A and B are shown apart, each in its own frame.
Chain A
Amino acid sequence: MKQKKICLLGGFAVGKTSLVRRLVSGLFSEKYLTTIGVKIDQKMVTIHDHSLLLVLWDLYGDDDYQKVRASYLQGSSGYILVIDGTRPETIDVAIRLHQTARQVVGTVPYVLLLNKHDLAEDWKVDPATLGELSRQACLVAKVSAKTGDGVESAFSALAEAMLNGS
């Protein structure tokens, strides 16, 4: 069976772990527990009748305390850039990680997720202002790990893009 490695990249607390959790177990927790190191999960998906095992590398949030090791990205067939829609400063982190990913794995498909879309009243990020970052993405979506909105389809979109690419 085909396996594909996918890295989740983004600043701290943007909801990477929550998105994976939502996808894998359908759960969500309000409590914030920052991820230490790399958290590996798996998810089986079916794309056009083909089963595909997604190996999800939920990388710790990149910040001044913890820099993501470039070597963790090796072997990725795709990646997910996560932005917290209520915190515009997480865009810069995504841009930086996007550059790192390009250097390590080249141009593999990626999706750009603007998470926490359920917090509409605090929403601060206009997708139209994301420029380059969104132009190259195979999907830009406002999602919510809390409600599950758009989460599964975002992973599917990436899986499909990875399959088409390979």
Chain B
Amino acid sequence: MTASDSFSDSAILQVFDALIFQQSGEGFVCRGELPSWCPPPGARSLTEFHPEVLLTQSFFLQHVIQEAQSWWASDQSGVWKSGLWSEPDVFGEEAVFEAIAVREKDIPYLIIQRFGPDMVPVQPLLQKAREEQLSHRQSLQQHEQREAQLGSQLARSEQERDDVMAVLDRLGLGTILVDATDRITFISRTAQDLLQREASDIIGHSLQTGLPWPKEFSALLHAQEELPDDCRGPASVVLDRKGAPSLSLDIEMRDDPRDPLRKILFLKDVTEVHELRRQLVGQTHFFRLIGKSPAMRAIYEQIQDVAMVDAPVLIQGETGTGKELVARALHEGSPRKDRPFVAVNCAGLTDSLLGSQLFGHKRGAFTGAIQDHEGFFEAADGGTLLLDEIGDMPLPIQTTLLRVLQEGEIIRLGESRPRSVNVRVLAATHQDLQALVQAGRFRSDLLYRIRVARLRLPALRERREDIPLLSMAFLEQGRAAIGKLGIHDIAPTAMQQLLRYPWPGNVRELKAAVEFALIHCRGTNIQPSDLPPEFEESGHPVLSHPSPVAARDERQAIMEALQQVNGRRIQAAKLLGMSRSTFYRRLRELDIPIES
């Protein structure tokens, strides 16, 4: 059988519809029938077409022949396939080909198959797989984009919410959100702190039962829910808290602006406000004045009353009772409080000196007036001027002062030009001005002018019950100033002495006595021995020579002390700084019924 015989069965070859080359010498010859796709449309005629030319013209076939040669040279059996390719310029038509190398009886054959566009079975599969991969990727990307968008939206709204919360927290406002079914959906940090509850213990619970307030209050809130938004006012509740003082809360309920069925509760801590109100009732301080005795409370009220009136006030009281503090309180409580407060002592100055101090002078107005000088009236312009010891004011100055008060103008010494001043004048004195008028040392018209309003400060002995409070306040101030912070109390025996002393120098003297004691004190409590010498010398002046006034005051102090501690005598004694035996003795001496 010849080589040509082996593929002579053209019927079989035709089934492949392939171009078949057989290696012959250096080149290849075409075998069998030409396939139906040969010659390609570009070839002008059948005779002109030499299939072998393909092998030299096709870039891919050149590659194929190289590869096939080495395959034929190897001993491998079976077939070698080139893989699919398309090469339109050679065949004139976009088609897909594949070359197959075989060896038959040691003769190499190269078979070239052509596939029409629909004949490559892997194409649709691959196409589908890759398209799906692309579209999957695309939807994934869209998802990611959406997710990123939502993420940043969420972050933005969380940021906004955090900002709002931070503002509310700063304002000390707690917030609770409640949904349409009365469930709590949110509780701010401040609200958690106020209620001493963690968010996890509260969220999801009902507004009626989930919060630590009494049932009646829940009912009140529930009733509020039924009201229109603008008819609800704040509801107040006092909560007892573990390990902390009880808390006064104002709770305001508002509709959620986006959904009126949902509610927002604002919680405001008003404990301090309530405390301040409470303190006003049992006040121990007023501006820098100290005292809770009825006499002092009456003074506080009077100060409040006259502070706002822009009229002169005459402050009377013994030396050391705190007349200047009253004047300052009047100033601080008045609309002039942001303007100057000037105090001038009228005692011990000559006419001209006091006159120039008060009204100012022009240069050369008197010997020593070396330059223009602004007086206290001008310095206090817009504010308050305290004329202390006004009883000692020389008559000529009284005359000028009267004119100034009438006209609201001053004239500096040595000048003729009046200057208008706006000053509220307060006057203070320890003297009986009426008596001075009678003695011809004080102008009656000035007196009437300055005592439009009058305040009379009690002497310390008239308000002995304030002595413990005052001395403890001075102890507090003094120990810091002196640097003896270890001293924090006054021994009852020493307090007893303080309570009995007549205090001719009043509060000023008490302050000095406490400071004296602080300096001398070596322990943590002030002892009687630490007090100034007059306490030893005088013994118990109140006891030995009880003046009717003092006795009345002590009686009142004891009564009040008893009242304060609900009749418990030992505590009342302590409060007054007396020993038990002294206290009982004083009860007997002052005729205070034991069972009171």
Contact = CB atoms under 8 A, between A and B. Distances in A.
Nearest to A74: B63
A100 interface: no
Given A38-B84, A40-B87, A65-B126, A32 B63 contact: no
A38 B127 contact: no
Interface in B124-180: 126-127, 129-131, 133-134, 137, 141
A63 B129 CA distance: 11
Interface string A61-74: 10101100101101
Interface string A86-120: 01000000000000000000000000000000000
A34 B123 CA distance: 8
Given A32-B134, A34-B123, A55-B59, A40 B129 contact: no
B386 to A, nearest CB: 79
B86 A39 contact: yes
Nearest to A58: B86
Contacts of B67: 71
Contacts of A40: 58-60, 85-87, 89
Interface in B39-89: 58-60, 63, 66-67, 83-89
A128 interface: no
A12 interface: yes
A12 B132 CA distance: 12
Interface residues of A, number: 25
Contact of B130 (A39, A41, A63): A63
A1 interface: no
A5 interface: yes
A13 B60 contact: no
Contacts of A5: 59
A36 B63 contact: no
B127 A37 contact: no
A38 B85 contact: yes
Contact of B89 (A32, A42, A87, A122): A42
Contacts of B89: 40-42
A64 to B, nearest CB: 9
Contacts of B58: 40
A71 to B, nearest CB: 6
A26 interface: no
Contacts of A65: 126, 129-130
3 A-B pairs with the lowest CB-CB distances in the bound complex, closest first: A37-B84, A38-B85, A40-B87
